[in-house]
Structure 1
Amino acid sequence: MTPRQAATDVSDAGTAALAPSGRLRVAINVGNPILARLDPATGLPAGVSVDLARRLATRLGTALELVVYDAAGKSVEGVASGEADCGFFAIDPNRGETIAFTAPYVLIEGCYLVRTDSPIQDNSEVDQAGHTVVVGKGSAYDLFLTRTLGHASILRAPTSPAVVGTFMESDADVAAGVRQQLEMDARRLGGGLRLLDGRFMVIRQAMGTARDRGPKAAAWLAGFVEDAKADGFVAEALARHGIQGASVAPAA
């Protein structure tokens, strides 16, 4: 077998597993600005996850269809229901019931934001009776804090980009989300807000496909992610899009 034949066989196996229709449909969550956003000039999705989706379609030799969602929970549902073939998600055990994850390709910090005059000074002071934390509905932060907060209550904004707006319109005590999104919103609002030092979680961003696609699809996708980390593609994409505060995950 020639190298070209071997590559074709691998591509055919991946296409059959991940894109049986012959067209790769990839869920893109534009609610996470670290990885994807809508370009204000074109209205089209752009970012690290979009670059990875294009590379995956090229590897498979298929056309690419980007299925755009405005929230993480919706993108999970889209892949789990078969509306999309694969997508980009924060690893979470609840999502793992329907999604087969790869190892992470990017690590992102989850942080807390409070008002400048808040008495809360440390992450350890957040989980107290009477405190309310705003999170994006269905986000990794929502899932994590729902499991781990024992005393504070949770107020869910419709999407992650809406968290700070919901926080400002309410009497909630804390906003939780991606550090970069919180910093950007704090600057946009012109003061009166501050981030707590450190992080309350590390978000492990991975690719995933529906578990009912079977082990071959999951294994092929996992191999694709490891290649993208190892040959520098993920690092180059982060640099190309000017992403700070996110790092390439180590090899699986």
Structure 2
Amino acid sequence: MPDETLPTLRFAINAGNAVLASLTPDGQPAGITVELAKNIARHLHCRPRFITYPAAGKVVEDAGRDIWDIAFLAIDPKREDLLRFTSPYITIKGTLMVREQSDWQSVSEMDRPGVVINVGKNAAYDLWLSRELHHATLNRLSSSQAAIDAFLAGEGEMVAGIRQPLEAAAHATPGFRVLPDDFTEIQQAVCVAKADDRYFDAITELLARLREDNTLSDIITRHLRQ
């Protein structure tokens, strides 16, 4: 049981990134970022409180609004006006799922006129694609999972996302496949609001320690195998 005498530390958990966090059947957050949050809370002699979000965009919107203290998000230049990021603790890959019978073979082929790509609004790969694409159209859905669901239901020529959730969806649904290459590697970091960076140095110190003693790699490996 948590020590009720300890101060509370509020963690924003993005459940829209299934590689890093998800909700258990009873609605509790779990995954890499949740375990990392518990380590941070112990290091700061606090008890964690988890505030779950369906997508990254809302986490960013709430930065500096006294709703959360620490978050876990992809590093992106567009977010750095509001957030202060640590060095990355994991790098994940962005790719595409397409229909099995389609001619698509590589992510390098996606930027064509008339191509509609489903994405989760304000996800890290949405921000990257928004900068890099010149011809294809992005169909922005409320979350990464909503983008996948819409594609499986027939909307769009392809769906962009993180490799592991796309591969899980393709495996579970006949008629779809994930392309073998990636359009970007997304660096995930711990972050705080620039308006409130009192925990930043302590988090940076802890991450260095967790890397050095292999605790961080053990956490990541264990959850990715589940």
Q: 1:217 aligns with which of 199, 204, 216?
A: 199
> How far has the Cα of 1:43 moved from its partner?
2.1
Shift of 1:198: 1.1
What TM-score comes out, normalization by structure 1 length?
0.83
Give the % identical residues.
Answer: 38
* TM-fit CA distance, 1:116: 1.2
Q: Mind listing any 5+ residue stretches in structure 2 that lack a counterpart? A: 1-5
**1:207 touches 1:225 (CA, 8 Å); kept in 2?**
no
Q: Which of 213, 216, 219 in structure 2 is aligned with 1:234?
A: 216
Contact 1:110/1:199 (8 A) holds in 2: yes
Q: C-alpha deviations, 1:22-71, integer Å up to 9, x for none?
A: 3210101111111111112x321111111111111111111211111111
SS of equivalent to 1:104: coil
Please tell me whether the aligned partners of residues 44 and 202 of structure 2 are also in contact (alpha carbons under 8 angstroms): no
CA RMSD after TM alignment = 1.7
One-letter amino acid of the counterpart of residue 84, structure 1:
W
Whether the 8 Å contact between 1:104 and 1:207 is mirrored in structure 2 is: yes
CA distance in structure 1 between the aligned counterparts of 2:17 and 2:225, rounded to whole angstroms: 12
Residues 144-184 of structure 1, C-alpha deviations (whole Å, 9 max, x = no match): 11111111000012111222211133441111101110011
| Counterpart position of 2:119 | 135
The alignment of Structure 1 onto Structure 2 pairs a total of residues equal to 221
What is the letter of the counterpart of residue 37 of structure 1?
S
Contiguous gaps of at least 5 residues in structure 1? 1-20, 245-252
Q: Which residue of 1 aligns with 2:61?
A: 77
Whether the aligned pair in 2 keeps the contact of 1:48 and 1:234 (CA below 8 Å) is no
Greater gyration radius: 1
Larger helix percent: 1
Partner of 2:14: 29
Q: Secondary structure at the match of 1:35?
A: coil
Q: What is the distance in 2 between the residues matched to 1:60 and 1:90?
A: 23
Amino acid at match of 2:14: N
2-side partners of 1:33 and 1:243: how far apart? 13
Shift of 1:111: 0.8
1:47-86 maps to which residues of 2 (within 5 A)? 47-86=31-70
* 1:34 aligned counterpart, secondary structure: coil
Shift of 1:83: 0.7
* 2:39 aligned counterpart, secondary structure: helix
Asked whether the equivalents of residues 25 and 66 of structure 1 are also in contact (C-alpha less than 8 Å), the reply is yes
Deviates more, 1:79-88 or 1:103-112: 79-88
- Find the aligned partners of 1:56 and 1:101 in 2 and give their Cα distance: 15
Q: 1:119 offset after TM fit, Å?
A: 2.1
